[in-house]
Amino acid sequence: MTTGRDAAPGEPSQRQLRVGEEIRRVLARVLERGVLHDPALYDAPVTISEVTVSPDLRNATVWITPLGGGDAADLLAALKRNAGRLGGHLARDIKLKYAPRLRFERDTAFDVSSRIDALLRDPVVRQDVEAAADHEDSEPGDPDGQA
C-alpha cells in the first residue's frame, strides 16, 4: 500500500483518509444531537457518505445524501448556512492546526449505482449481456461456438 509521498497523484494519503473519517464522525454526531438551531436541520435524515480532505487539510468536501433519497436542495442550503458553526464544532473536537473549511455537496453515487442496477435488471440488457457471455465462451474462429 502506498501512502504519503509514495501515493499516486490524486490518490489521498492515509492522513487525509483518517482526517476525513474523523470529520465525518464528528459531523454525524453533531447533526444527530441536534445542537444546531436551524429548523431545516431538525430531524433531517441525512447520510454523510464521505468526507474528502485536501492535501493540506485546510479544505474538506462533505458528501451528503438525504436518507431514503429525495430532494437535497433544502438540506444542502441549511448545511451551507451552518458551515461556520459546524466548523467550530470540528475545531473543538478534532485536534488539527487549522479547522478545515467545509463545503457540502450532494453525493450522487447512490443514484448512479441504482440507475446501473436498474439497467442491468432490464430484460433486454440482460439478454445482450448473456449473448455476449455466450459469444466469449465460444471458440475463436467458430461463429456457432460448436466444434
The answer to whether residue 135 scores a pLDDT higher than 50 is: yes
Q: Where are the domains of the chain?
A: 4-107, 108-138
Q: Which string of b and e fits 55-70 if b means at least 16 CB within 10 Å?
A: eebeebbbbbbbeeee
pLDDT at 122: 81
Topology of the domain covering 4-107: GMP Synthetase; Chain A, domain 3 (3.30.300)
Nearest in space to 81 (alpha carbons), one of 50, 102, 54: 102
* Cell matching residue 127: 439478454
**Can you name the residues that pair with 46 across neighbouring β-strands?**
66
The pLDDT tens digits of the residues spanning 20-54 come to 999 999 999 988 888 888 887 777 788 889 999 99
The pLDDT tens digits of the residues spanning 53-94 come to 999 999 999 999 887 766 678 889 989 999 999 998 888 888
The pLDDT tens digits of the residues spanning 115-124 come to 887 877 888 8
Residue 1 binned pLDDT confidence (cut-offs 50, 70, 90) = very low
